[in-house]
Amino acid sequence: MFNATRLRIARLFHGITQRELAGRIAVSNGQMATFEGGHKEPKGDVLDALCSVLLVKPEYFCGEADEFREEEVNFRRRISAPEKLKRQVLARGSLFGMAVEQLSRLGKFPAYNFPKHTVETMEDIEVAAEKCRLHWNLTLDAPIGDMARVVENAGVVILAIDLQTAERVDAFSRFGDTSVVVLNLQKRSASRTLWDLTHETAHGVLHQHARGVPLEQREAEADRFAGAFLLPRDAFASDFTACRAMDWEGLLDLKRHWRASVQAILVRARQLELIDAAEYRTRFRTLSGWGWRTSEPDEPTLDVPSLFNKALERAHTDYGTTTADVARTLGWRVELFTSVTGVQPAPPRIDPNVISLTERRLVADKNKAPTS
Amino acid sequence: MAAKKWNPVKVHRALTPEFLTPIADLLWNVQRRVSEHVRPEEGDENWVAGCTAYTRRCYALAKMAAGPDRAWLWAGKIEGQFYIRIHGFPIRVYRAPDEGEIPINYADGSTSEMALLGRVFELPIDDVPRDLYRIEVVAKKLARPVRVAFVEVNERGAVVNSYTIPRSLASAIKAAPKTNGMDIRPLRQRKPPVVPPATEVQSTKLGVQKSTGEHSA
């Protein structure tokens, strides 16, 4: 049974319009609309052409589609991000979700373990962040050494990849049947990526069932949660007041310890009223002058997600399923798998005792060739 | 000519006896031990004593900086020269000019030093005053210590201000500096980052329980 949603997802992932796809496979725009509308099924040459352009196999179009829809996704993007780009990034999420779903049949991912909190005030958010730390066995007085592990141990798969969206999309997350966080690594510092990941975590904790909350409010709440989670108020305030007179060197020392950017530290210090509005402004102006808004010194090491790769390894260990096999089962060409997940399949192992017939023939032909 | 009542705390809030005195004590003790072990009868002279003192003071300062409750102190090489940083304030440590002319490269501020000063003064690097700051270990013949001073030198290397760092009792060197009510306090004992256990994908195959190892794409 042809699933038109799967066609749309693949098309959007490649960033092409219906009209462009119609042109590339030599069908009319109307025909393409009927395919995507689910009114007609492409067959024969048309299906082959679709597969060729979209880097899939015919079996890809069969089966259910768990499409990531905008209303169920926390989508962190700049105002300048065009709709087309947004849809393309969502389609990547949908495809990545399919891959995770497939791998979950070959290995058992950590159980979903995100606590839910309803918040109304900033104090509620502070408390929610502290409760989350305790829920995940993280103390309230130490920095988090690996945020990716925190999220993945709680059953959410992270995809950290260069989205090639020129920084117009920071990250997005979806918490539900298949829970994923997608982080854009393009031109981003480790401290900023860590912040994005914690921001997305906040959506999972605070907004999973808060559909009616306006976007701006959700984003502000998630930012506050990220600050409260990475820099717990009591421990951070104590540390900050102990060294604030050390000026920039002290702030960098706090950064090295807490693994949050100097900007995040200043924002947090302002939230907790450890600095006044004038100092906050002066500090930001100074760091802007140094170019720290885009590139800060003393960056922490990047928390590298590992769950997806471990699932691939598990599939290989237990069932001998290679990355290429997973792609095949999904009905994807290997190029599509690499493009969606960033995972390059290992080259096939060649038994040294096996001699290539082609090579042998070439050598034989060369030997037979007449010499002048 | 050095001003009589010049005090480095006017240069920066971190340059108080709370932080300078333990350093002066350490430098004094190192210098004293070196002077006790110099053997002029076996050919040791000022140069040997000076080199030994330099090497040992770098070692002792680095060890001190690595100690507990010493987050305010950093010691190490910047652009090939040994520096300490008190709450980020960069200072070089060397002998006094009384023992002979100071080489010009001792007086020069490196780009990194100017950048660090810019950071503590919150000034762009081009606006940082050209004065630099040194701790001098003034010694008599064969490394016998006389005093340890914090000095301000101009861009030609001449001392324009000098401040003898008060020494504490011998035990002070072991004690962590305490605050005197100023807004500069050493960092509290910090807890190391909490690292969650590695993520695992369990087997769904019957009888297989082992977890996956590290795997990179």
Nearest one of B102, B91, B112, B117 to B23, comparing CA atoms: B91
CB B202 to CB A253 under 8 A? no
Interchain proximity A313–B212, CB inside 8 Å = yes
How far is residue A41's CA from residue A62's CA, in Å, rounded to a whole number?
Answer: 11
Q: CA-to-CA distance for A10 and A129, rounded, in angstroms?
A: 37
Least Cα separation, residue A83 to chain B (angstroms) = 31
For A199, the token pair is 């921001």
Task: For chain B, say whether A289 makes contact (Cβ under 8 Å).
Answer: yes
Q: Render A250-280 in DSSP notation, one character per residue.
A: HHHHHHHHH---HHHHHHHHHHTTSS-HHHH
**Chain A residues within 8 A of B191 when measuring between CB atoms:** 139, 141-142
In DSSP notation, A276-339 reads -HHHHHHHHHHHHHTTTTT--SSPPPP----HHHHHHHHHHHHH---HHHHHHHHTB-HHHHHH
Nearest to A221 by CA among A233, A204, A236, A206: A206
Give the integer Cα–Cα distance in Å for A83 and B202. Answer: 39
How far is A158 from A155, CA to CA, in rounded Å? 10
Cβ-contact A249, B115 below 8 angstroms: no
Contact A314, B203 (CB under 8 A): yes
Report how far Cα A110 is from the mean position of its chain's Cα atoms: 18
Task: Kindly report the nearest CA distance between residue B135 and chain A, in angstroms.
Answer: 20
Are A142 and B71 a contacting pair at CB < 8 A?
A: no
B202 to chain A: which residues are within 8 Å by CB? 107-108, 314
Q: Which residues of chain B have pLDDT under 70?
A: 1-4, 96-107, 168-189, 206-217
Please tell me whether residue A372 adopts helix, strand or coil conformation. Answer: coil
For residue A249, give the chain B residue with the closest CA: B88
Alpha-carbon gap: A95 to the closest alpha carbon of chain B (Å): 18
In a mutagenesis test of the A interface, which of B183, B195, B199, B200 is the best target, namely the one with the most A β-carbons within 10 Å? B199
Encode chain A (372 residues) as per-residue pLDDT tens digits. 899 999 999 999 999 999 999 999 999 999 999 999 999 999 999 999 999 999 999 999 998 888 888 777 877 665 556 788 888 989 999 999 999 999 999 999 999 999 999 999 999 999 999 999 999 999 999 999 999 999 999 999 999 988 776 567 788 888 877 899 998 887 678 999 999 999 999 999 998 877 778 888 888 999 999 999 999 998 898 888 776 545 677 788 889 899 999 999 999 999 998 888 988 998 888 888 888 888 888 899 999 999 999 999 999 999 999 999 999 999 999 999 999 999 988 776 666 666 667 767 777 777 776 554
B87 contact A CB<8A: yes
Of A108, A141, A246, nearest to B88 by CB-CB distance is A246
Q: What are phi and psi of A23, to 5 degrees?
A: -60, -40
Give the C-alpha separation, A316 to A115, whole Å: 32
Is B204–A253 a contact, with Cβ atoms under 8 angstroms apart? no
Contacts of A245 in chain B (CB under 8 A): 13-14, 87, 182-185
Beta-sheet pairing, B81-86 with B145-153:
unpaired
Please tell me which residue of chain B has the smallest CA distance to A240: B187
Would you call B120 and A108 a contact, using CB atoms and an 8 Å cutoff? no
- Interface membership of B201 toward A (CB under 8 Å): yes
Instruction: Label each residue of A164-189 as H, E or C.
Output: CCCCCEEEEEECCCCCEEEEECCCCC
Question: What per-residue confidence (pLDDT) applies to A201?
Answer: 96
The bridge status of strand B89-95 relative to strand B73-78 is unpaired
A153 touches chain B (CB under 8 A): yes
CA–CA distance, B193 with A139 (Å, rounded to integer): 9
Question: Which residue among B120, B124, B201 sits closest to A109, beta carbon to beta carbon?
Answer: B201
pTM of the model as a whole:
0.65
Write out residues 57-86 of B within 8 Å (CB-CB) of A: 71-72, 85
Chain B contact for A135 (CB, 8 A cutoff) = no
Inter-chain residue contact B208 with A318, CB threshold 8 Å? yes
Q: B29-61 in b/e burial notation, b at 16+ Cβ within 10 A?
A: bbbeebbeebeeeeeeebebbbebbbebbbebb
Tokens 């052409």, located at residue: A49
Interstrand relation of B89-95 and B132-139 (parallel, antiparallel or unpaired): parallel
The answer to whether the CB atoms of A306 and B199 lie below 8 A apart is: yes
Do residues A144 and A58 lie in contact, with contact meaning Cβ atoms separated by under 8 Å? no
B112 has a chain A CB within 8 A of its CB: no
Burial A8-34, CB ≥16 within 10 A → b, else e: bbbbbbbebebeebbeebebeeeebeb
Helix (H) or strand (E) segment spanning residue B162:
strand B159-164
- Which residues in chain B are closer than 8 Å to A343, comparing Cβ atoms? 217
User: Judged by CB atoms within 8 Å, which residues 211-270 of A form the interface with B?
Assistant: 238-239, 241-250, 252-253, 257, 259
Model pLDDT, residue B105? 63
Query: How high is the pLDDT of residue B217?
Result: 33
B212·A310 Cβ contact <8 A: yes
- Closest residue to B205, CB basis, from A244, A248, A318: A318
Q: How many residues does chain A have?
A: 372
Read off the tokens for A101: 């779903």
Pairing outcome for strands B145-153 and B132-139: antiparallel
Say which of B71, B191, B216 has its CB closest to residue A253. B71
